[in-house]
């Protein structure tokens, strides 16, 4: 599945380079026009990130998010600064939505586990952003990629895998927004270790061949942001590439 990504910051469509807020790329797209561009046959879900909330959960752009959810027909997953039951209910009130939660998996693991039980694993996407150190250890980063942790990716997944984790979005931060290609081995390793997971690959897709290689490395869904925004290829070309592989 191809999942177009839309990152929102101060009511504008943007992209970060390797997760750095001081390397933000602003785009002139009207949000509604971009949603329409992505709402075509073959697109089964759109990924929206509230970057203001990811940076500071107290600055959630919830009014903007609700306006989007009221209009859009395509299923959506929303991430950024989601920390409590009320945040989740605000989003899941709308049909065909999922919430994307990351930092809470490290900051309050038991709280997030309670959300899985309350709302079901089908409604929650566990988003884990990683930095790979010189020893090859996949270390999770949180709070909009501003805070390093010593938590290993595989260990954190295992904790939630045991309670029914189904959807995971994993980003190698060094690849994000670069257009230089994803970390193909990352998704192959995860799919081999956690066979039940529906893995969403994110970060680095710059050409159609990347889509082919991600599918070959067992990514179930592919999140694409900057390549669509900069017309490296069209949404329809990406869909056709995936279907014909």
| Alpha-carbon span 43 to 237, nearest angstrom | 12
Q: What is the pLDDT of residues 219-238, one digit of tens each?
A: 899 999 999 999 999 999 99
- Residue of 175 and 157 predicted with greater confidence: 157
- For residue 147, the model assigns a pLDDT of 62
Q: Which residue has the tokens 């949404």?
A: 235
| pLDDT for 230 | 93
* Helical segments of 120-179, H only: 153-161
The pLDDT value recorded for residue 133 is: 85
Q: What is the pLDDT of residue 143?
A: 63
pLDDT for residue 180:
87
CA–CA gap between residue 214 and residue 58 (Å, rounded): 35
Domains of the chain by start residue, with CATH: 2-244 (3.20.20.70)
pLDDT in tens, 71-120: 898 999 999 889 899 999 999 999 999 999 988 888 899 999 999 999 99
CB neighbour list of residue 33: distance below 8 Å, 6 or more residues apart: none
List alpha helices for 72-161, DSSP H: 85-92, 104-107, 109-119, 153-161
Residue 155 annotated as catalytic: no
pLDDT tens digits for range 5-32: 999 998 899 988 767 778 888 999 999 9
pLDDT at 111: 94
Active site residue 87: no
Q: What is the pLDDT of residues 112-146, one digit of tens each?
A: 999 999 999 999 999 998 888 888 888 888 765 56
Average pLDDT for 164-184: 89
76: left (phi over 0), alpha (psi -120 to 50) or beta: beta
User: Which residue in 50, 129, 176, 210 is the catalytic one?
Assistant: 129
């Amino acid at each position: 599945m191809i999942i177009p990504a839309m990152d929102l910051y101060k009511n504008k469509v943007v992209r970060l380079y390797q997760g750095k807020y001081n390397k933000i790329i602003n785009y002139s797209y009207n949000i509604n026009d971009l949603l329409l561009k992505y709402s075509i046959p073959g697109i089964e879900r759109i990924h929206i990130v509230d970057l203001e909330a990811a940076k500071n959960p107290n600055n959630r752009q919830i009014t903007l998010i609700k306006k989007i959810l009221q209009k859009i027909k395509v299923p959506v997953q929303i991430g950024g600064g989601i920390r409590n039951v009320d945040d989740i209910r605000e989003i899941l009130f709308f049909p065909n939505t999922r919430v994307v939660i990351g930092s809470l998996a490290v900051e309050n693991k038991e709280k997030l586990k309670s959300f899985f039980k309350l709302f079901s694993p089908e409604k929650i996407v566990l988003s884990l952003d990683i930095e790979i150190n010189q020893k090859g250890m996949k270390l999770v980063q949180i709070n909009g990629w501003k805070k390093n942790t010593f938590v290993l990716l595989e260990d954190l997944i295992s904790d939630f895998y045991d309670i029914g984790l189904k959807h995971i979005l994993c980003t190698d931060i060094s690849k994000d927004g670069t257009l230089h290609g994803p970390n193909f081995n990352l998704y192959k390793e995860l799919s081999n270790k956690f066979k039940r997971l529906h893995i969403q690959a994110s970060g680095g897709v710059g050409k159609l061949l990347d889509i082919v290689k991600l599918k070959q490395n067992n990514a179930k869904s592919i999140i694409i942001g900057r390549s669509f925004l900069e017309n490296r290829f069209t949404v329809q070309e990406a869909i056709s590439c995936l279907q014909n592989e």
